[in-house]
Amino acid sequence: MSITFDKYHTYQEIEDFLKSCISEHPNLCNLETVGKSFQGRDIWMLEVTNKETGSAKDKPGVYLDGNIHAGEVAGCETVLWIIDHLLNSYGNDNAITYLLDTQAFFFIPRIAADGAEYYLSTPHTVRSSLREWPEDYDEKPGLYPEDIDGNGKILTMRVRDPNGAWKISSKDPRLMIRREPNDLPLDGVSYYNVYREGLIREYDKDLPVKDAPPKYGLDFNRNFPTNWAVKTRQPGSGDYPFSEPELKAIADFFVSHPNIVLSMSYHTTGGYILRPFCTQRDSAMDPKDLQVYCTIGQIGEEITGYPCKSIFEWFTQDQTRPSVGSALEWFYETLGILSFATELWDMNGRAGLPKRPSHQYLSMSHKQLEEEGLALLRWNDEVMGGQLFVNWQKFDHPQLGEVEIGGWEPKFGRQNPPISLLEEECRKNGLFALEMAKSAPRIGIDKVNVECTEGDLHKIEVVVTNEGYLPTHGTFNALKMNAVRPVKVKIDPVVNPAQRENGQGGIEIVSGKAEQDLGHLDGYLAGNDRKKKASWMVRGRPGSTVNIIVTSGRAGSATTTIEL
pLDDT in tens, 174-195: 999 999 999 998 888 899 999 9
Look at residue 495 in the predicted model and tell me its pLDDT. 67
Task: Give yes or no for residue 235 having a pLDDT over 90.
Answer: yes
For the segment 256-285, the average pLDDT, to the nearest whole number, is 98
Taking alpha carbons only, the member of 421, 145, 386, 381 closest to residue 268 is 421
Q: Are 72 and 416 in contact (CB under 8 A)?
A: yes
**What does the pLDDT look like over 3-35, one tens digit per residue?**
999 999 999 999 999 999 999 999 999 999 999
Q: What is the DSSP letter of 24?
A: H
8 Å CB contact between 373 and 169: yes
* pLDDT value, residue 401: 97
Spatial distance between the Cα atoms of 303 and 426, rounded to a whole number of angstroms: 12
Instruction: Pick the closest to residue 306 from 337, 258, 255, 340 (CA basis).
Output: 340
Instruction: List, for residues 520-555, the tens digit of each pLDDT value.
Output: 999 998 878 999 999 999 998 888 888 999 999 999
Residue 496 has a pLDDT of 63
Q: Cα separation of 194 and 209, whole Å?
A: 10
pLDDT of res. 189: 87
Give the pLDDT score at 526. 83
3-state secondary structure 40-96: CCEEEEEEECCHHHCCHHHCCEEEEEECCCCCCHHHHHHHHHHHHHHHHHCCCCHHH
pLDDT-derived band at 347 (thresholds 50, 70, 90) equals: very high
Domain extent listing, the chain: 11-126+220-345+417-437, 142-212+350-415, 443-563
Q: What pLDDT score does 362 carry?
A: 84
pLDDT above 60: residue 292: yes
Q: Does domain 443-563 have CATH number 2.60.40.10?
A: yes
pLDDT score of 86: 99
The whole-number pLDDT of residue 146 equals 98
pLDDT for 139 beyond 70: yes
The pLDDT of residue 195 = 98
Q: Which of 54-68, 245-259, 360-374 has the lowest mean pLDDT?
A: 360-374
Predicted pLDDT at 500: 54
pLDDT of residue 545: 86
Helix (H) / strand (E) containing 491: strand 487-492
* CA distance linking residue 310 with residue 307, whole number of Å: 10
Cis check: omega of the bond before 134, within 30 degrees of 0: yes
Q: What residue type is 151 in one-letter code?
A: N
Percent of the chain having pLDDT more than 90?
89
Give ∠ CA 367-371-374 in degrees, rounded to 5: 135
Inform me whether the pLDDT recorded for 503 exceeds 70: no
SS3 category, 407: strand
Banded pLDDT at 172 (limits 50, 70, 90): very high
pLDDT value, residue 6: 97
329, HSE (Cβ side, Cα atoms, 13 Å): 19
pLDDT at 137: 79
Report the alpha-carbon distance of residue 478 to residue 99 in Å, rounded. 23
Local confidence band at 108 (pLDDT 50, 70, 90 cut-offs): very high
d(CA 498, CA 136): 72
**CATH code for 11-126+220-345+417-437?**
3.40.630.10
Q: Give the mean pLDDT of 312-322.
A: 92
Work out the pLDDT band at 505, boundaries 50, 70, 90. low
- Measure the CA–CA gap between 417 and 396, rounded to whole angstroms: 31
Q: Residues 246-257: what's their mean pLDDT? A: 98
Per-residue pLDDT tens digits for 405-430: 999 999 999 999 999 999 999 999 99
- Which residues, in sequence order, are CB contacts of 145 under 8 Å at separation 6+? 124, 125, 154, 196, 197, 198
Say how far apart CA 346 and CA 428 lie, in whole Å. Answer: 13
Give per-residue pLDDT as tens, 381-399.
999 999 999 999 999 999 9
Q: pLDDT value at position 541?
A: 82
Same fold, 11-126+220-345+417-437 and 443-563: no
Q: Alpha carbon 209 to chain centroid distance?
A: 37
Query: What mean pLDDT is reported for the chain?
Result: 95
